[in-house]
Amino acid sequence: MNLSLVIPVYNEEESLPHLHQALHAALDNLGRSWEVIYVDDGSGDGSLAALEKLAAEDPGHVMVVELRRNFGQTAAIAAGIDHARGEIIVLLDADLQNDPADIPMMLDYIDQGYDVVSGWRKSRKDNFATRTLPSRIANGLISVTTGVHLHDYGCTLKAYRRDVLTGFRLYGEMHRFIPVYAHAVGARIIEVTVRHHERKYGKAKYGLERTLKVILDLVTVKFLLSFANKPIYLFGGAGIGLMVLSVLTLIYLMLRRILVEIPVLTSPFFLMSVMFFILGFQSILMGLIAELLVRTYHESQHKPTYTVRRVIQRQDALTSIIPVNES
Ligand code: UDP
Ligand code: MG
Domain final residue, candidates 211, 227, 243 = 227
Domain final residue, candidates 208, 227, 246 = 227
pLDDT at 325: 59
Rounded to whole angstroms, how far apart are CA atoms 224 and 216? 13
Examine residue 315 and state whether it is found in any structural domain, yes or no: no
The CATH code of the domain that includes 99 is: 3.90.550.10
Q: Are 84 and 59 in a shared domain? A: yes
At a CB cut-off of 8 Å and minimum separation 6, what does 232 contact? 284, 287, 288, 290, 291
Examine residue 155 and state whether it is found in any structural domain, yes or no: yes
Q: Are 155 and 209 in a shared domain? A: yes
Which helix or strand (DSSP H or E) is residue 180 part of?
helix 178-184
Index of the ligand 1 atom closest to the CA of residue 71: 8
pTM: 0.84
Ligand 1 surroundings by CB, under 6 angstroms:
8-10, 12, 41, 70, 72-73, 76, 93-95, 97, 204-206
Beta bridge partners of 40: 9, 66
pLDDT at 47: 96
Ligand nearest to the CA of 210: 1
Mutate to test the pocket of ligand 1, among 73, 136, 214 (most ligand atoms within 8 A of CB): 73
Q: Are 242 and 223 in a shared domain? A: no
pLDDT at 324: 57
Distance from chain centroid for Cα 207:
20
Residues 103 and 90 sit within 8 Å (Cβ to Cβ): yes
Q: Are 217 and 252 in a shared domain? A: no
Domain final residue, candidates 200, 227, 254 = 227
From atom 25 of ligand 1, which residue's Cα is the shortest distance away?
A: 206
pLDDT at 207: 77
Rounded to whole angstroms, how far apart are CA atoms 214 and 117? 21
From atom 2 of ligand 1, which residue's Cα is the shortest distance away?
A: 73
Examine residue 79 and state whether it is found in any structural domain, yes or no: yes
Q: Are 216 and 264 in a shared domain? A: no
Residues 188 and 113 sit within 8 Å (Cβ to Cβ): yes
Average confidence (pLDDT) per 10 residues, the chain, 327 residues: 96 96 96 96 95 95 96 95 96 96 97 96 88 90 94 96 86 90 92 95 85 89 88 96 97 95 91 97 96 89 76 74 56
CA atoms within 13 A on the CB side of 121: 23
Q: Are 192 and 179 in a shared domain? A: yes
Can you give the residue range of the structural domain that contains 17?
3-227
Cα 281 to middle of ligand 2, angstroms: 48
Q: Are 145 and 168 in a shared domain? A: yes
Query: Cα-atom radius of gyration of the chain, to the nearest Å?
Result: 26
Q: Are 159 and 282 in a shared domain? A: no
What's the burial of 88, exposed, middle or buried (CB within 10 Å: 0-12/13-18/19+)? Answer: buried
Count: domains in the chain: 2
Cα torsion 105, 91, 37, 169: sign: positive
Ligand nearest to the CA of 131: 1
Index of the ligand 1 atom closest to the CA of residue 12: 11
